[in-house]
Amino acid sequence: MTDAAELFSEERSAEVVAASFAATPDPRLRRVLTSLVRHLHDFVKDVELTEAEWAAAIDFLTATGKMCTDTRQEFILLSDVLGASMLVETINNRAVGGLTESTVEGPFHMVASPPRDLGADIAEDGKGAPCLVTGSVTGSDGAPVANATIDVWQANDEGYYDVQQPGVQPPLNLRGLFTADADGTFWFRTIVPRYYPIPQDGPVGRLLTATARHPNRPAHIHFEVSAPGYRTVTTHLFVAGTPYIDSDAVFGVKPSLVREFPEVDDPGRAAEVGLPNPFRTVNFDVVLRPDTVDREA
């Protein structure tokens, strides 16, 4: 009365479980789950996972879920340190020649950046090495993107975001929402950010410790650049020479996103841009993809 051919076996485990999803109404969900089951079973078989290791995995995943709150997303952190976030991001934003490459958004874009005028200083507490950021937004045809929106956020010179230091940093410190001018150019004042560790007080931190991995991200400024008719790009501007530039804990670095931040020692120029002398500078020209271009083009 039981049909052994349809029952679970080590040899046919993935087939049998995949078959249980055969009636899934959504064909995409069916495809994703079938592939997930196949790769999950291949992994278990490849390492011959022991019962104790399986139990440890259950405990780890449970603790990861328990760590999540409105302001802490430990599963995203886990996806990040396993390179899964960066892989999904890369697959869905394959760079076409000349376009600005994207990278992970990260977990700190949790508050809306305040609209600010071009040239404004987003370092509300004035702490750190002053820096002038300039740049332009163009389409892939080279035409300026007038009035593009540039959303920026970054850590301070101690490696903390405002939301991590309430009462220490002013609210919305080092965040700004800018509108490029008619020829797509933008500029603002800030300070040079520092590298920082991802949160280490949860299961992901324990994983990094157990594997002798450091938790640090190289110094960067987050950019999200958008304009009607163009695909939004979420990316970072990395500080050349920052510690951990070759070993980002979340694998976010792409060579095209790394820039020198040279020092300018010129009192006249400093006065002109409203910064103390000397100051650092960086230029970031952003190239957007028109919405009409197929992503595989």
Give residues 194-213 in contact with a second copy (rule: CB under 8 A).
Answer: 210-213
Residue 182 in the binding site for a second copy (CB under 8 A): no
Residues binding a second copy: what is the number (CB under 8 A)? 82
262 binds a second copy (CB under 8 A): no
Residue 154 in contact with a second copy, rule: CB under 8 A: no
Q: Of 6, 263, 266, 272, which one interacts with a second copy (CB under 8 A)?
A: 6
Cα three-residue angle 185-287-243, rounded to 5 degrees = 90
Let me know: does 246 contact 168? Beta carbons within 8 Å: no
Q: Residue 288: enclosing H or E segment and its boundaries?
A: strand 279-288
In the range 26-85, which residues lie near a second copy by CB under 8 A?
A: 26, 29-33, 35-37, 39-51, 53-54, 58, 61-66, 68, 73, 75-76, 79, 82-85
Stretch in the footprint of a second copy (CB under 8 A) among 109-117, 175-183, 250-258, 278-286: 250-258
Amino acid at 183: D
The CB density around residue 89, as the number of other CB atoms within 10 Å, is 18
296 binds a second copy (CB under 8 A): no
Do 134 and 186 form a contact (C-beta atoms < 8 A)?
Answer: yes
| Contact pick of 142, 167, 255, 268 for a second copy (by CB under 8 A) | 255
Scanning the chain, the segments in alpha helix (DSSP H) are 13-20, 27-47, 51-67, 74-81, 84-92, 203-210, 267-273
Structure tokens at 106: 């990260």
- Residue 252 lies near a second copy (rule: CB under 8 A): yes
Residue number, 90 or 140, with CB nearest to a second copy: 90
Which 95-124 residues touch a second copy, going by CB under 8 A?
none
Helix, strand, coil percent values for the chain (each to nearest 5): 30, 25, 45
Q: Work out how close the CB of 245 gets to a second copy at its nearest, in angstroms, rounded to a whole number.
A: 5
Q: Which helix (H) or strand (E) holds 193?
A: none
